[in-house]
């Protein structure tokens, strides 16, 4: 199966296979969105068929729900289960504190709701997603369609005083039309290059009328599983101060050491 995959996809799949080991029978599982999360759902389907694994999955998008149902996984809602044992999802960027940028697939709102309603959040990624400073990947901001122009201007005004490397705001399009999320909203992609103070920026964005949520996932992830092109995977857990270095000059446990 891995012969037809690119080195990046082999790494993504490796991270998903390792993370799938955290899922135990009877768990309520948040199922992420994106190419790496798709490998996870497929693996859980394999376990269902080979081991009889029974779980209840809460998908973060319609795409994930369709895939989970095709794999035979019981799909439910957050309202029905109330709380989740674990959520496993991908990321577009992850820094040394396990802070993330997510939302490249357009499901950031549901992803953040599901993640924050979980006992444990496991992020799966290939090594290319690890960065010293967040911001190279465009930051998605979900906004309601009403008053979109005014909301965009307020976002641009906020960025004018923010500690970022660039300040380009683009409306996400699909087939020449505004991209529509599963919740019926649009997405502004902020091309910032570098985010100096992610927490301040996140708070500022979410105070703007018309902004529903932003793609900064701060202090949410508990564990990172990084896949390698050789099919292996590395597990980085915030509870283990083992000094694992990330790309750039940051270290995941710098603040702990200090």
Residues carrying an active site annotation: 111
DSSP string, 104-127: TTS-HHHHHHHHHTBS-EEEEEEG
With contact defined as beta carbons under 8 Å apart, do 129 and 12 qualify? no
User: Is 89 one of the annotated binding-site residues?
Assistant: yes
User: Is 90 one of the annotated binding-site residues?
Assistant: yes
User: Is 36 one of the annotated binding-site residues?
Assistant: yes
With contact defined as beta carbons under 8 Å apart, do 59 and 32 qualify? no
User: Is 104 one of the annotated binding-site residues?
Assistant: yes
Distance CA 226, CA 233 (A): 5
Strands 100-101, 93-94: pairing kind: antiparallel
Residue 155: C-alpha distances to residues 148, 160, 205, 213, 254 (Å)? 10, 9, 7, 12, 32
User: Is 105 one of the annotated binding-site residues?
Assistant: yes
User: Is 64 one of the annotated binding-site residues?
Assistant: no
Distance CA 31, CA 61 (A): 9
User: Is 249 one of the annotated binding-site residues?
Assistant: no
Q: Is 5 helix (H, G, I), strand (E, B) or coil?
A: coil
Q: Smallest Cα–Cα separation from 56: which of 33, 87, 18?
A: 87
Cα 131 from chain centroid (whole Å): 14
- Residue 173 has φ and ψ, to the nearest 5°, of -115, 155
User: Is 76 one of the annotated binding-site residues?
Assistant: no
With contact defined as beta carbons under 8 Å apart, do 43 and 34 qualify? no
Q: Is 234 helix (H, G, I), strand (E, B) or coil?
A: strand
User: Is 102 one of the annotated binding-site residues?
Assistant: yes
**Residues tagged in the binding site annotation:** 33-36, 89-92, 102-105, 129
**Residues tagged in the binding site annotation for substrate:** 33-36, 89-92, 102-105, 129
């Amino acid at each position: 199966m891995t012969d037809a995959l690119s080195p990046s996809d082999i790494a993504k799949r490796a991270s998903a296979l390792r993370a799938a080991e955290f899922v135990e029978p009877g768990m309520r599982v948040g199922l992420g969105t994106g190419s790496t999360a798709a490998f996870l759902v497929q693996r859980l389907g394999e376990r269902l068929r080979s081991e009889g694994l029974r779980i209840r999955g809460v998908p973060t998008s319609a795409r994930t729900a369709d895939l989970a149902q095709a794999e035979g996984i019981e799909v439910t809602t957050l309202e029905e289960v109330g709380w989740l044992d674990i959520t496993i999802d991908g990321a577009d960027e992850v820094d040394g504190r396990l802070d993330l940028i997510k939302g490249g697939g357009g499901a950031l709102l549901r992803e953040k709701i599901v993640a924050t309603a979980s006992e444990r959040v496991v992020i799966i990624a290939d090594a290319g997603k690890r960065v010293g400073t967040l911001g190279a990947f465009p930051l998605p901001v979900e906004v309601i369609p009403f008053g979109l122009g005014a909301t965009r201007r307020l976002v641009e005004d906020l960025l004018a005083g923010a500690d970022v490397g660039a300040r380009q705001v683009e409306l996400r399009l699909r087939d020449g039309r505004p991209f529509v999320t599963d919740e019926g909203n649009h997405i502004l992609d902020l091309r910032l290059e570098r985010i100096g103070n992610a927490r301040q920026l996140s708070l500022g964005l979410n105070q703007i009328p018309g902004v529903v949520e932003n793609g900064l996932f701060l202090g949410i992830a508990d564990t990172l599983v990084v896949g390698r092109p050789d099919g292996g995977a590395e597990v980085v857990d915030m509870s283990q101060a083992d000094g694992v270095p990330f790309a750039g000059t940051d270290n995941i446990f710098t603040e702990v050491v200090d």
